[in-house]
């Protein structure tokens, strides 16, 4: 009988130990899920599009980016108001006045943002800008379009089609993560350039299927110093 009691006690201790281990593993799993959720929420539920300026362009050349002509102060990053949901649309549905006066002017299923870069220094500057895809969920970039206005002239960029050729009416992405790269030379003191970025999901793209439903995208437009020319 003593043997039976000892065996039962061992089983109870083993059950308690296993229960504690299971509880600990459950807590760790819940914390891991919450951490992943927090990271994803930070990335996608806030701003998914930003504009960044190399601090050297300001510190050495007094180049600034802004969306309000009355607020020309140095900012290394501008966060753009985003949409939490995109329905697919056609480019022909976009309004004609997208190259706006400044700031966000989004529609129901597209993001549109106008901003400026200005040389407020005393030297002629060269810089280059890049539109970069930071992260993609469910290959939504297969059907994304970027319409970029540079001083009023627009170009449309898209990922290559499934047969490896540019989509009709578009310029293919430079590479997997880079939409475009542009070098701007002889940026003179007092000169400014206007940019408007428009993003939407193109419904006429053959890759705009149910497979990309729930997809998400994180992008930024980066302005970097190239070299400086003395006056």
* Entry pTM: 0.77
Residues 82-101 have a mean pLDDT of 87
Q: Select from 195, 203, 199 the least CA-distant residue to 53.
A: 195
pLDDT, position 119: 97
User: How far, in Å, CA of 167 to CA of 126, rounded?
Assistant: 31
User: How far, in Å, CA of 131 to CA of 22, rounded?
Assistant: 47
User: How far, in Å, CA of 171 to CA of 144, rounded?
Assistant: 12
Percentage with pLDDT > 90 across the chain: 61
> Using 50, 70 and 90 to split pLDDT, how confident is the model at 25?
confident
Q: What are phi and psi of 46, to 5 degrees?
A: -105, -115
Question: CB count, 10 Å around CB of 2?
Answer: 6
> Using 50, 70 and 90 to split pLDDT, how confident is the model at 47?
low
Model confidence at 2: pLDDT above 80? no
Give residue-wise pLDDT tens across range 64-85. 999 998 999 899 999 998 877 7
Give the dihedral sign, CA 60/66/71/77: negative
pLDDT, position 228: 44
């Amino acid at each position: 009988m003593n043997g039976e009691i000892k065996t039962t006690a061992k089983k109870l201790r083993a059950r308690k130990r296993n229960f504690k281990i299971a509880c600990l593993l459950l807590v760790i799993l819940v914390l891991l899920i919450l951490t992943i959720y927090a990271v994803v929420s930070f990335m996608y539920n806030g701003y998914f599009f930003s504009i960044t300026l190399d601090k050297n362009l300001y510190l050495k050349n007094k180049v600034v980016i802004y969306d309000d002509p009355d607020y020309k102060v140095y900012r290394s990053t501008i966060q753009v108001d985003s949409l939490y949901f995109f329905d697919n649309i056609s480019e022909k549905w976009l309004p004609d006045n997208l190259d706006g006066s400044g700031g966000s002017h989004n529609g129901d299923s597209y993001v549109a943002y106008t901003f400026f870069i200005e040389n407020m220094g005393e030297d002629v500057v060269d810089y280059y800008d890049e539109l970069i895809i930071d992260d993609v969920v469910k290959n939504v970039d297969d059907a994304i379009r970027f319409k970029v206005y540079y001083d009023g002239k627009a170009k449309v960029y898209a990922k290559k089609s499934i047969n490896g050729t540019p989509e009709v009416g578009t310029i293919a992405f430079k590479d997997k993560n880079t939409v475009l790269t542009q070098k701007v030379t002889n940026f003179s003191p007092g000169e400014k350039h206007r940019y408007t970025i428009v993003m939407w999901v193109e419904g006429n793209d053959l890759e705009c299927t149910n497979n990309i439903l729930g997809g998400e995208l994180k992008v930024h437009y980066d302005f970097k110093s190239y070299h400086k020319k003395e006056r």
